[in-house]
Structure formats: structure tokens, C-alpha cells
Amino acid sequence: MVEIKFICDRMLGKLAVWLRISGYDTLYVGDFKIEDEDEFLLRNHTDRVLLTKDRTLFLKSRKAGRRAFLINSNDVADQMRELKDIGVRFQIVMDRCSVCNELLRKPSIEEALAVIREQKLGEDLLEKYELWYCEKCKKLYWMGSHWVNMVRFLKKLED
């Protein structure tokens, strides 16, 4: 598991998902019901590195002694490259839910079948794939076509 923790501002939702997929404990401000995003980010979760596209928020954070990193690009691949420059490794780890950031685990047969039936997925998933489960979201993950696309995306990121 990766030890550095992040919190991303509202403009970095896709980056937050990729950080979670890569095993980083990453909060995304869009997951919270808040009125004043800047105040929330400045005052809460101060043990996390703040990732932001907002230069003013970045400067306020640094002035307050908070670890913060200013993301310049609007493109998620370029944002990922910016973080790679400071040592963040992007890979498919599958230990965190990409939706809610909770830790994933292997599902029981009953849990997997419940999700498969509820979402009308093929029951052959149980035999064909290794599964991961988010207890909070009740979401299943497996190495299907989406996985292949993620691997391709990460490969292009390396080129």
C-alpha cells in the first residue's frame, strides 16, 4: 500500500480516480456536501497533500504550512505526468474503490452473486475473473475490457 495521502479539489476528479486506482488514499472534495470548498480544503484533512488547480488556494495552503501541489494542466494524462515528476507511481493496484476510496477486499460468493444479480451482470464473472468488492458502494471490480483500456492508457502515459 502507498503511504502518501492526497485530497483533490473539485477540478481534479479524474485525477482522484487514477490516484485511487494506483493505491493512493485520495479524498475528492466533490464527494463531500460542502458550501465553501476553499475553507474546507484549508481547514480539514491537513495530514493530506492538497492537489489543486487553484493558484490562490495553493498559495494560501503553503502560507498556512500545508503540503500542497499546484496542478497546471487540464488534461488528466498531463496531470498524471506532473505528479510522476514528483515521484507518484501510476499503476493498477486495485486495493481502493475508485468511487469512494474505501479499501477493497475479495467478496464472498454470496456478496458477488448479490451484486451480479442486482446489476444483471453475467454469472460467469465468478469463474472467469478475479473479483474485488467495495463494501461501502457494493461495487464489484474485475479485469475485464475496462481493465485492458486502463493498462493501455498507462502504457501511453509512459511513452
Same domain flag for 56 and 114: no
Residue span of the structural domain in which 72 resides: 5-84
Same domain flag for 68 and 118: no
**What is the Cα–Cα distance from 127 to 105, expressed in whole angstroms?**
17
Residue 90 resides in a domain:
no
Same domain flag for 78 and 116: no
DSSP state of 105: B
Q: How many domains does the chain have?
A: 2
Q: Nearest 5 degrees, angle CA 72-CA 76-CA 78?
A: 55
Same domain flag for 114 and 75: no
> What does pTM read for this prediction?
0.90
Residues 115/107, Cβ–Cβ less than 8 Å: yes
- Tell me the pLDDT of the chain (159 aa) as tens digits: 458 999 999 999 999 999 999 999 999 998 988 888 878 887 888 899 999 999 999 999 999 999 999 999 999 999 999 999 889 999 999 899 999 999 999 999 999 999 999 999 988 999 999 999 999 999 999 988 888 899 999 999 887
For residues 33, 38, 43 and 47, what is the CA-based torsion angle, rounded to 10 degrees?
90
